[in-house]
Structure 1
Amino acid sequence: MGRVLVVDDEPMICRLLKREFEKLGHNVDEAGDLTQAKELAAQIPFEVIYLDVQLPDGNGIMEIPAFLNSLGSPEVIIMTGFGDPDGAELAVKNGVWDYIEKPPNLERLKLALSRALEYRKQKSQAKQPVVLHRGGIIGNSPATRELLDQVALAANTDGSVLITGETGTGKELTAQAIHKNSRRKDNPFVVVDCASLPETLSEGILFGHEKGAFTGADRQRPGLVKQAHTGTLFLDEIGELPPSLQKNLLRVLEERRFRPLGGDSEVQSNFRLVAATNRDLDAMCDQDLFRPDLLYRLKALSITIKPLRKRRQDIKPITLHHGQRLCDQYGLPTKGYSADFFEAMEAYDWPGNIRELVNTLEWTMARAQNEPLLFSMHLPVAVRAQLARQAFSRKKDAAQAPVGAFTPPSLKNVDLDQFPDLKQFRQAVMDQGELFYLNELLEKTGSDLNQCLRISGVARSQFYNKLKRHGLSLKSN
């Protein structure tokens, strides 16, 4: 039977679920807070974790990734008395199996457990060893392992894939990995840089043209869509695709046929589409800059690549891989790396992500030449200056942390008969803290939505919901 962990600060809930699940033959452990739960999950390969949201030492939803990546890679089922649409959406996006509101219905909890265990059993039986060609995807952090799982999933289908991520995160490498692991691997991989498509010529570039279709068309030329026949068409930076082409592309995706410029008949192309962007296409749809029907077609499967600053474990293996490649390329002896070099590399935020790291490493190699060991002093001045600024800012923030800038609700004058329980008080503090945070964020960013989303790490729809709940709004800039 299954190995289950119940995480809840209400002993009665823990005892109830332990008793009921043990009746079904499962082994059940309990934890009253996140610290204890993470300690247990690091030692025991749990299959299912029932997780409360509001716990004494933190928010359970924020720890979902840690539990999913723990020893047993368990399924997580959220239980909460503070249910809200934002929390449910965030939990599902983080990979939970189910989201159940308290007071819990025992039958639903049992059903969720049996289904989660059956799912794991089926997944385990169906899972076969797969040799995945990583291409240039380097690293073994949880985020990179998840990315590789998504690459394997995408490679087994012919559906459209939308890859999102900041500039320099490796979107084209991911698209190539999908292609190289698919049944189309021996056929063309055709790249279209939508950002550099001249609007007046873009239709001809994509769909081709017949001889004489326009001035200078002295011969028939197949377009990139036709060149991708039997292979993969990769539309890089699809958010930059001219609006005039979006409608035409939608029809091609639906029918896999198109008419070249000056042509009398339609041409077919059996291609698989992978698109990538660093823009928020949902927001562009809201602003009538991108067609919603095209977006729905693009994201049959969506893959989001995390920025390098959110997977710092990958910085060292990426550095070692490209460091050796650059040494080989320039005929330099293999370099050693000092501890302070890696400390600096892992401390820097890499706003340009992997692309910036590789360019920085190339500059560093050129500076060091035949010196056998790299130190942080070999790094570009701009990187070292930013690291110094970061270190100074942290010390300054710690020394000048505002006292009383956010004051929790006072209980000094509250009578005992009206004294709130701990959960009520904790929720009041969280609500007040969230309001304080949003007010400060809006003021410091000048109500710039993109900055607010980037800094807060909150999804656009969730951010709007939070503003609405607190009676706030984005001011006109």
Structure 2
Amino acid sequence: MARILLIDDGEDFRLLFENMINRLGLKCVCAPTLNEGMAELQQLPYDIVFLDVDLGTHNGLHHLPEIQSTPGNPDVIVVSASRDSQHAESAIQMGAWDYLVKPFRFVDFEQCLTRCVKHRDARNRFISESTFHRGPIIGSSPKLLRAIQWVGIVARTKNNVLLLGETGTGKELFARAVHDNSDRRKKPFTVVDCTNLPNTLAQSILFGHEKGTFTDAKESREGLFKQADGGTIFLDEIADLAAPTQRSLLRVLQEHSFRPLSSKQEVSSDFRLVAATNRDLSRMVQEGTFRKDLYFRLKSCLINLPPLRERPEDVEPLAHHYIKKICEEQGAPCKRLSQDCLEALKQYNWPGNVRELINTMNYAISNSYDAKTLTSYHLPREVRICMVKSTVEKANETPVHQQHQVTVMPKPETEIEILPTFKEVRNMVVTQMEAEYLIELIKQTDGDLKKACKVADLSRARLYELLQKHEIDYKQPARM
């Protein structure tokens, strides 16, 4: 039985909704506020959420992606008294299953709910019955799993696939997953980087040419679309294709045949196209820089890949995976990840997505030299800055008088203890902190002062001075 949740601040509507649900022999939970609804979604996996648009100070549509990303990956049906068609368009555009205008008839409600339940059951059954090979796609966040589910669904069709996502979100990995989970998996997987296609040679590279077509054409060559015969061709960054090539590609997608340059005969190819871009193709269509007919042919199966900042729970498994991989490639022992390093990685926004995370792990491993554990000090400066700013901002959120609350108990004047001055206490604390830091620094670098200077960002002379001040023997770190 489907688990149903209604989020609506209208008491009368909640009672009406419960009555309609009861008439269908189902049960539901009603939440009068968005916060209560989100708390309910975090506690239990729901199948379907009915979401009101006007929730007091909240606009339900703004929270639709957040609701869809909760553990149950629920389908969302938007309900609203608004008859603004723009609201309905926005809801569907953001992934809502349907949009019902209040007040609605029971028959319309029943039809909408029944179809949603049947579609959800069919989708889940389809996914559970199929064996999906995700390859090196790492993570288990709801948004990533939703994208993976779509790959599993479209892979078994013959449709073209369009992958949309920011730079570094792993579009080629997903394209490969579409191929590997299709019946074309034993045939070629051909990758084309459209950003590196010269306009003058694009037609020749993609569709081939005959001998003598141009000066350097000393022999006939088949194009990449022919090489992908029986398999999959992946056009990465398809938005960068020049207008003439877009026109030629449209016909090839329609006919699955093309004429190599200077050839008198057409060549056929049984390929499956997967395209990807980090740009807004719909806006490019409006601006006239991308063909509208080509766009609609490409988007028959569209999959949005989430950026890493929207799936922070995947940062830790990704970091562990690539630390292990990089160390194996370098023939070095696998390094551990300290808690402060992990917290720094989670705090960062990752504008470069997974690709930036991989580069960060490479940098940290190189910067740690022979240390066995990666700490936040080994990370690039921009990641450390983000962590420090976050720490300071959290401290600022709590009033100073609450950060250091002291219960003052009055004492007789004769019992007042003589305390050292504030300056004396501060010097003692700083001295102790310096000594502890230097001891750990020498341990981590095994007494190599060159490495220690780089990690601590100190000159060699200043480091010598501090070591002598605290009487630390850097030549014998193991005895400290």
- 2:272 is the alignment partner of 1:260: no
| Paired position in structure 2 for 1:310 | 310
Given that residues 3 and 27 in structure 2 are in contact (C-alpha distance below 8 angstroms), is that contact kept between their aligned partners in structure 1? yes
Deviation at 1:234, TM superposition (A): 0.8
Residue by residue, what CA displacement relative to the aligned partner does 1:85-138 show, whole Å, maximum 9, x if unpaired?
343233223432221112333332233223323334444555543321112211
| Structure 1: 5+ residue stretches without partners | 400-477
Find the residue that maps to 1:99 and give its secondary structure. Answer: strand
Residue type at the aligned position of 2:147? L
Shift in alpha-carbon separation, 1:196–1:120, aligned structure 2, 3 A: closer
The RMSD of aligned alpha carbons is 2.4
Shift in alpha-carbon separation, 1:23–1:243, aligned structure 2, 3 A: closer
Deviation at 1:368, TM superposition (A): 1.1
Residue type at the aligned position of 1:178? V
Given that residues 33 and 57 in structure 1 are in contact (C-alpha distance below 8 angstroms), is that contact kept between their aligned partners in structure 2? no
| Paired position in structure 2 for 1:118 | 118
- CA distance in 2 between counterparts of 1:347 and 1:71 reads 22
- 2:19 is the alignment partner of 1:26: no
Given that residues 344 and 386 in structure 2 are in contact (C-alpha distance below 8 angstroms), is that contact kept between their aligned partners in structure 1? no
Shift in alpha-carbon separation, 1:9–1:189, aligned structure 2, 3 A: same
| Paired position in structure 2 for 1:323 | 323
| Paired position in structure 2 for 1:195 | 195
Find the residue that maps to 1:49 and give its secondary structure. Answer: strand
Counting only pairs closer than 5 Å after superposition, residues 17-416 of structure 1 correspond to structure 2 as: 17-56=17-56, 58-70=58-70, 72-388=72-388
Deviation at 1:371, TM superposition (A): 0.7
Deviation at 1:317, TM superposition (A): 0.9
Given that residues 53 and 80 in structure 1 are in contact (C-alpha distance below 8 angstroms), is that contact kept between their aligned partners in structure 2? yes
Deviation at 1:384, TM superposition (A): 2.4
Residue type at the aligned position of 1:165? G
- CA distance in 1 between counterparts of 2:270 and 2:75 reads 38
| Paired position in structure 1 for 2:444 | none
Residue type at the aligned position of 1:251? R
Q: Identity over the aligned pairs, expressed in percent?
A: 41
Given that residues 190 and 232 in structure 2 are in contact (C-alpha distance below 8 angstroms), is that contact kept between their aligned partners in structure 1? yes
Given that residues 190 and 228 in structure 1 are in contact (C-alpha distance below 8 angstroms), is that contact kept between their aligned partners in structure 2? yes
Q: Which moved more, 1:288-297 or 1:317-326?
A: 288-297
Residue type at the aligned position of 1:100? L
Deviation at 1:150, TM superposition (A): 1.3
Residue type at the aligned position of 1:374? L
| Paired position in structure 2 for 1:406 | none
Deviation at 1:142, TM superposition (A): 0.8
Shift in alpha-carbon separation, 1:26–1:20, aligned structure 2, 3 A: same
Counting only pairs closer than 5 Å after superposition, residues 414-453 of structure 1 correspond to structure 2 as: none
Residue type at the aligned position of 1:321? H
Deviation at 1:392, TM superposition (A): 6.1
- CA distance in 1 between counterparts of 2:334 and 2:22 reads 58
| Paired position in structure 2 for 1:467 | none
- CA distance in 2 between counterparts of 1:7 and 1:341 reads 39
Residue type at the aligned position of 1:170? G
Find the residue that maps to 1:145 and give its secondary structure. Answer: helix
Higher CA-based Rg: 2
- CA distance in 2 between counterparts of 1:367 and 1:71 reads 38
- CA distance in 1 between counterparts of 2:242 and 2:126 reads 43
- CA distance in 1 between counterparts of 2:341 and 2:222 reads 50
Query: Aligned residues, how many?
Result: 399
Deviation at 1:191, TM superposition (A): 1.0
Residue type at the aligned position of 1:136? P
Find the residue that maps to 1:76 and give its secondary structure. Answer: strand
Residue by residue, what CA displacement relative to the aligned partner does 1:166-216 show, whole Å, maximum 9, x if unpaired?
111111111111111111111111111111111111111111111122212
Find the residue that maps to 1:263 and give its secondary structure. Answer: coil
Residue by residue, what CA displacement relative to the aligned partner does 1:27-84 show, whole Å, maximum 9, x if unpaired?
2332211222233334455443322122246332233344434455443221112343
Shift in alpha-carbon separation, 1:150–1:370, aligned structure 2, 3 A: same
Deviation at 1:20, TM superposition (A): 2.9
Q: Which moved more, 1:344-353 or 1:25-34?
A: 25-34
Find the residue that maps to 1:6 and give its secondary structure. Answer: strand
Given that residues 143 and 311 in structure 2 are in contact (C-alpha distance below 8 angstroms), is that contact kept between their aligned partners in structure 1? yes
Residue type at the aligned position of 1:289? T
Residue by residue, what CA displacement relative to the aligned partner does 1:432-462 show, whole Å, maximum 9, x if unpaired?
xxxxxxxxxxxxxxxxxxxxxxxxxxxxxxx
Shift in alpha-carbon separation, 1:141–1:48, aligned structure 2, 3 A: closer
Shift in alpha-carbon separation, 1:324–1:3, aligned structure 2, 3 A: closer
Q: Which moved more, 1:119-128 or 1:302-311?
A: 119-128
Residue by residue, what CA displacement relative to the aligned partner does 1:359-389 show, whole Å, maximum 9, x if unpaired?
1111111121321111010012243245545
Find the residue that maps to 1:340 and give its secondary structure. Answer: helix
Shift in alpha-carbon separation, 1:367–1:40, aligned structure 2, 3 A: closer
Deviation at 1:358, TM superposition (A): 0.7
Deviation at 1:233, TM superposition (A): 0.8
Shift in alpha-carbon separation, 1:126–1:295, aligned structure 2, 3 A: closer
Residue type at the aligned position of 2:299? K
| Structure 2: 5+ residue stretches without partners | 400-480
Residue type at the aligned position of 1:330? Q
- CA distance in 2 between counterparts of 1:5 and 1:340 reads 39
Shift in alpha-carbon separation, 1:51–1:284, aligned structure 2, 3 A: closer
Given that residues 54 and 80 in structure 2 are in contact (C-alpha distance below 8 angstroms), is that contact kept between their aligned partners in structure 1? yes
Given that residues 6 and 18 in structure 1 are in contact (C-alpha distance below 8 angstroms), is that contact kept between their aligned partners in structure 2? no
